[in-house]
């Protein structure tokens, strides 16, 4: 195949990665099994590295890379210039159940004046103290339904904090946690935080998948009205309370649906957001957190 490709296509073949049955990394839903759940992961990675030393011509690969031209791109930080926030404390759920988060989103929040305080809805007994905002990103809460349910204090404190006006964002798995009930991996409905007055349940196939644009129907994005937000959805779960404050539309075709709970203090739904693609979202959230902080100190 190497000779055929190079003769017919006039491109160099730098090697291949063979199938290695004892080094397979399994997937779950739409994501890989997490590293700390894989037995002997370091040994498997070292074995793969050794095989790739033999099957890849690294000199050829590096020569190709070094000859590539530079990519030109606009400075993505322009949208955030002149954005001045006082320091606010943002609690971010992070543990086995909540582990899907963009590093760039976290870095951007920090650059915009957020002190990020991580906590575990599974292991911690209480929310961090003196918070000005709260974020629940995605993950696998359905795999830890019993553990999340048994942490009664954390569920009660979350519901109390959000209902009392603490600004909160939640997406996908985090959105499931805010429900009154969530079906776990074994088909048992577990009590969750109860912020969203509905039931989240498992589907046999993808409910919604891919890129979407979001336009506001009603409600409020932390007191603002964005022209449009870009996002994506990928999940096997659905809800009888998806929200209806925004309308999601696929970039191709006519398919669309209502989604998201959006108010002056809560923005929660299935869509995932990359903040550089929708700067209005982190700006509005941190502005509301700063307002909450100011009112709290009066």
Domain ranges of the chain: 76-297
Question: Which DSSP string do the residues of 166-183 spell out, in sequence order?
Answer: --EEEETHHHHHTEEEEE
Separate counts of helices (H) and strands (E) for the chain? 8, 18
In this prediction, residue 82 carries a pLDDT of 46
Both structure tokens of 116:
């990020």
pLDDT at residue 35 in the model: 67
- State the 10-residue block means of pLDDT for the chain, 298 residues long: 92 90 71 68 89 93 91 66 71 95 95 95 96 96 96 97 97 96 95 95 79 91 91 86 93 89 95 94 95 88
193-198: long-range contacts at Cβ-Cβ below 8 A with a sequence spacing of 24 or more? 193/155, 193/158, 193/159, 193/162, 194/155, 194/159, 195/158, 195/159, 195/162, 195/163, 195/168, 195/266, 195/268, 196/239, 196/241, 196/243, 196/261, 196/268, 197/241, 198/239, 198/240, 198/241
What's the CATH number of domain 76-297, 3.40.50.720, 3.40.50.1110, 3.40.50.880, 3.30.559.10? 3.40.50.880
Among 23, 99, 168, 172, the active-site one is 172
In the prediction, which pLDDT does 31 show? 60
Tell me, yes or no, if 241 is annotated catalytic.
no
């Amino acid at each position: 195949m190497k000779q055929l490709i190079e003769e017919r296509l006039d491109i160099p073949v730098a090697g291949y990665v063979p199938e290695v049955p004892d080094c397979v990394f399994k997937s779950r839903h739409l994501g890989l099994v997490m590293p700390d759940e894989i037995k002997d992961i370091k040994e498997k990675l070292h074995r793969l590295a050794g095989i790739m030393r033999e099957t890849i011509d690294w000199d050829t690969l590096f020569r190709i890379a070094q000859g590539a031209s530079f990519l030109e791109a606009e400075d993505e930080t322009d949208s955030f210039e002149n954005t001045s926030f006082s320091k606010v404390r943002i609690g971010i759920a992070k543990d086995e159940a909540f582990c899907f988060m963009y590093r760039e989103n976290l870095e951007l929040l920090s650059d915009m004046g957020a002190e990020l305080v991580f906590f575990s809805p599974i292991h911690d007994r209480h929310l961090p103290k003196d918070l000005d905002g709260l974020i629940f990103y995605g993950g696998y809460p359905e795999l830890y339904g019993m553990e999340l349910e048994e942490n009664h204090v954390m569920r009660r404190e979350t519901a109390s904090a959000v209902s009392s006006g603490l600004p909160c964002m939640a997406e996908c798995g985090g959105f499931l946690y805010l429900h009154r009930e969530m079906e776990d991996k074994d088909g048992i409905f577990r009590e969750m935080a109860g912020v969203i007055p509905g039931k989240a349940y498992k589907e046999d196939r993808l409910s919604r998948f891919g890129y979407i644009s979001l336009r506001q129907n009603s409600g409020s994005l932390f007191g603002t009205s964005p022209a449009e937000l870009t996002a994506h959805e990928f999940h096997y779960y659905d809800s009888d309370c998806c929200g209806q404050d925004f309308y999601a539309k696929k970039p191709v075709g006519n398919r669309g649906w209502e989604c998201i709970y959006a108010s002056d203090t809560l923005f929660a739904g299935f869509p995932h957001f990359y903040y550089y693609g929708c700067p209005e979202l982190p700006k509005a959230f941190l502005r509301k957190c700063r307002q909450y902080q100011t009112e709290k100190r009066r």
